[in-house]
Chains A and B, each alone.
Chain A
Amino acid sequence: MANHKIKVKVQGAEREAEVESRLLLVHFLRETLGLTGTHIGCDTTHCGACTVLLDGQPVKSCTVLAVQADGREVMTVEGLEQDGKLHPIQEGFWQEHGLQCGFCTPGMMLTGYELLQRNPDPGEMEIREAISGNLCRCTGYVNIIKSVQYAAAKLRPAAE
């Protein structure tokens, strides 16, 4: 079984490695690159704790091979903060108590982040629908919705 040399842009930085064909993207990120902010919560592609952005789209990185990401761009939770400044989605989760144990949070925030890029003013049902692939056991989702709406409000003036 041959290994593959891959080049993946992570948070804009080119990362190179030689990987097994079967290496899951989530393990590439966590173990090869040491970016442990992306988490693993299940084995049947349900929980979404492993959500990252692949070429700007949220994907469940446990159900993508690292080799599939060759030549493409990945953004993980570590990429949200820019130059020491938190992204509004991060601020929103902090302000609105959108996290408790924090394990589902990176995936939730990235899903929310991408939603706001498509839909700058989402209503409650739209947010619920967008995060329906991300499970949370702690928060009951109510404050997660508020967190995303907080971020939406913060982002909107900048967009105008």
Chain B
Amino acid sequence: MIPAPFDYHAPQTLEEALALLQNHRDDVKVLSGGQSLLPLLKLRLGAAGHLVDIGRIPGLEYIEQENGVLRIGGRTRESALERSDLIQSRYPLLAETAAVIADPIVRNLATVGGNLAHGDPANDHPATMLALRAQVVATGPGGTRTIPIDDFFTGLFSTALEPDEILTEIRVPAPPERSGGAYVKLERKVGDFATAATAVQVTLGAGGEVERVGIGLTNAGPVPLRAVEAERYLTGKQPTGDVIAEAARLAGEAAMPNADRRGAVEYKRNMSRVLTARALKRAIDRASGRAQEQ
């Protein structure tokens, strides 16, 4: 449980941090919350000669909504997200997601940016951000750029972030009226990665039909998945029990999980289906104001 030796840097500004990433390219890792990186280093997997700790840089932790956009600083702690009144009231999908990441103590350090930048389909925020149609803001030596979430996850443990970029902000469009979201996660115990999990963000039209819906699947393939077929099927329809069941079935079909101790492929795909149905029901109940909070 002892990491191999490395050099540690604690830059005070973003510019310093970016310069360090450039100087030590190929042998450097960003230390954000450290709750994904340090466990790997302790097992002597994924070594790096240099760690750049962005923990001293001001202005990276915030949760603000303005002009119809929710902006979350890349280094915002999961516990802050979980406890934020704004998130609990207007973005229940995010609150529910944050609440099931790892365990409460890990969440005091784990960051939203880290959860996305790790590129791990087993992490929880990726599916949620897919469902929310979020955008990721990356800051590099050339300035900032905005990456749509659909383009962000490029492969197992790889993202669209360049080696000399830092994820500094996540942007989520503020949901209109008659919107609701839910994250339903099946885990073997608290603290585990998802056996399967589904994130749903839905907006209902005036007649109660599904106007827009985002469905993200966690740990259902080499990259975080959007259940595109299911989304298409649902759009424009009245969310009856049968319709939800069919959408869930399509989501299950889209899942491409690996077999492991959490389950065989068939079990996991069925769980994606079951959890999608549950997340859809809860999100739709919230959107139509019928929700009973547990």
Contacts and interface: CB of A to CB of B under 8 A. Distances in A.
Interface string A53-75: 01001111011110110100000
Interface in A43-59: 43-46, 48, 51, 54, 57-59
A65 B105 contact: no
Contact of A67 (B8, B43, B102, B104): B8
B6 interface: yes
A68 B109 CA distance: 11
A127 B6 CA distance: 38
A90 interface: no
Contacts of B104: 58, 111, 129-130, 132-133
Interface string B6-20: 111010000000000
Given A45-B106, A59-B108, A20 B191 contact: no
B3 A22 contact: yes
Interface string A105-140: 000000100000000000000000110111000000
B191 A46 contact: yes
Interface residues of B, number: 30
A158 interface: no
Given A1-B5, A4-B8, A68 B105 contact: no
Contact of B1 (A21, A60, A62, A68): A62
B7 A21 contact: yes
A65 B191 CA distance: 21
A133 B105 contact: yes
B191 A133 contact: yes
Interface stretch (B32-40, B121-129, B177-185): B32-40
A13 interface: no
B6 A43 contact: no
A2 interface: yes
B115 to A, nearest CB: 15
B1 A1 contact: no
Range for the number of chain A residues in contact with chain B: 20 to 34
B41 to A, nearest CB: 8
A21 B108 contact: no
B125 to A, nearest CB: 18
Contacts of B1: 40, 43, 62
A60 B43 CA distance: 16
Nearest to B43: A43
A64 B33 CA distance: 9
Contacts of B264: none
B274 to A, nearest CB: 23
The 7 closest A-B pairs by CB, nearest first: A133-B103, A21-B8, A43-B1, A133-B105, A57-B108, A132-B190, A1-B5
Interface of B: 1-8, 10, 31, 34-35, 38-39, 41-43, 51, 53, 55, 79, 102-106, 108-109, 190-191
